[in-house]
Amino acid sequence: MTFRLPSAAPLLRTPQTAVLEGIAGFVPPDAVPNHALPAAWDVDDAWVRRRTGIGERRRAAPGVTTGDLAVEAAGRALAVAGGPLVDAVIVATSTPDRPMPAMAPRLATRLGLGEIAAWDVSAACSGFVYGLAAAVGTLASGCADRVLLVAAEVYSTLLDPQDRSAGIVFGDGAAAVVLRRGERAELGGVLALDLGSDGSGDQLIQVAGGGAQERSRPGEFGPDDRYFRMRGREVFQHAVTRMTQSAHTVLKRADWAAEDVDRFCAHQANARILSAVGDRIPVPGERHVTNIARVGNTGAASIPLALADAAARGELRAGERLLLTAFGAGLTWGSAALVWPELPTVPHIDTIDTDAVAHHEPAADPALRTRIA
């Protein structure tokens, strides 16, 4: 079943929307280049690059959690935005620190944001776009004036050491955006959204164990069911089809033609999927925003992490029209159209900036600085 915002939806028709005013990302310092992958996987650099476009991926050190990466990215994004007060925190992740409670309330406390609204979004690799839609609704409805949206993953905790198909692709990382209520005509404004899902494909990408199903029927599950599994060939076709269709829907809602798109940022699944979707929209390769070669597939964090990386490198200009699209487990997918804002300097995603983070994290574990650094 597909959810489609009706043409008269207030979210799209009223002038009020979410306006981007800060972005930043963070990846752990430990890089795993292709030549350092396990010998048992029998792969080399050329083989991995040819199939995925990935040269290296980042891995969180032992003891570093999804929440730790989220704090780092969120603190940076708040600093870029000028340290504003926020009224709500949304965290998109498939690798929460615990099944319960949600990560967002603890993140808000670690950042010193007070007793504000905070909740998680679980839409796998589509999580950032789903979180963006939630932020737009929260802001446009008047429930908040400013939202911190964070996407963070430590996929390395879900990977089967024997599964090279997932091991060569996934990396750990986080990114965050600060969004305020504003007008659609402003630079940074989100202009259109599209969301969809199809639960009949829920077994194509999954971690079968670890939830209530396993606890209620423990005899049907084994230790391997705690690992991430994906049926790659089927996923490829679904991902290309759904992201292309969703992107076309958003273009229509934004009243853009494909040639109006200045920059295109898709979920960084693998290079072949990115190329196939770009060709079908179509958006030429030189307009793609991508960093998969250096960080791999970082799940829900992949789109904002690629944008933060491009912003830090000076590759995005104010006024450019951006098309975003994502696909993930569920199956879920979504797209968004926005205009890039004028932003202050954005920190590079692979540098440590403890001062900016510490300013927003008065209650943080002191050992975190050592673990991340």
Per residue in 10-25, pLDDT (tens digit) is: 345 567 999 999 999 9
pLDDT computed for residue 352 by the predictor: 52
Residue with tokens 């179509």: 282
Q: State both tokens at 255.
A: 């009243």
Q: Per residue in 250-286, is it b (16+ CB within 10 Å) or e — as a string?
A: bbebbebebeebbbbbbbbbbbebbbbbbebbebeee
Given a cut of 50, the residues of the chain with pLDDT beneath it are 1-3, 5-11, 353-373
Is residue 267 part of the annotated active site? The answer reads yes
List all residues 6 or more positions away from 61 whose beta carbon is below 8 Å from its beta carbon: 28, 30, 371, 372
Number of H helices, E strands in the chain: 13, 13
Q: State both tokens at 168.
A: 């060569």
Instruction: Describe the strand order of the beta sheet including 321-328 as a list of residue ranges.
Output: 190-197, 332-339, 321-328, 263-266
List all residues 6 or more positions away from 203 whose beta carbon is below 8 Å from its beta carbon: 231
The active-site residue, picked from 34, 270, 291, 297, is 297
Q: How far apart are CA 259 and CA 9, in angstroms?
A: 26
| pLDDT tens-digit series, residues 335-362 | 999 999 999 999 999 865 444 333 444 3
Cα torsion at 193, 198, 201, 206 (round to 10°)? 50
Please count the CA atoms within 13 angstroms of the CA of 91 that sit on its side-chain side: 28
What's the pTM value of the predicted model, to 2 decimals? 0.91
Q: Per residue in 300-326, is it b (16+ CB within 10 Å) or e — as a string?
A: bbbbbbbbbbbbbeeebeeebbbbbbb
Handedness of CA 303, 305, 127, 250 (dihedral sign): negative
| pLDDT tens-digit series, residues 123-162 | 999 999 999 999 999 999 999 999 999 999 999 999 999 9
Q: How far apart are CA 201 and CA 188, in angstroms?
A: 34
Residue type, 364: A
| pLDDT tens-digit series, residues 226-241 | 999 999 999 999 999 9
Q: Are strands 88-92 and 146-154 parallel, antiparallel or unpaired?
A: parallel
pLDDT computed for residue 214 by the predictor: 92
242 backbone dihedrals φ, ψ, rounded to 5°? -70, -40
The active-site residue, picked from 34, 125, 270, 360, is 125
Residue type, 233: R
pLDDT computed for residue 61 by the predictor: 97
List all residues 6 or more positions away from 252 whose beta carbon is below 8 Å from its beta carbon: none
The active-site residue, picked from 34, 265, 267, 291, is 267
Write down all domains in the chain, each with its CATH number in brackets.
10-355 (3.40.47.10)
Cis amide prior to 111 (ω within 30 degrees): no
Helix (H) or strand (E) holding 37: none
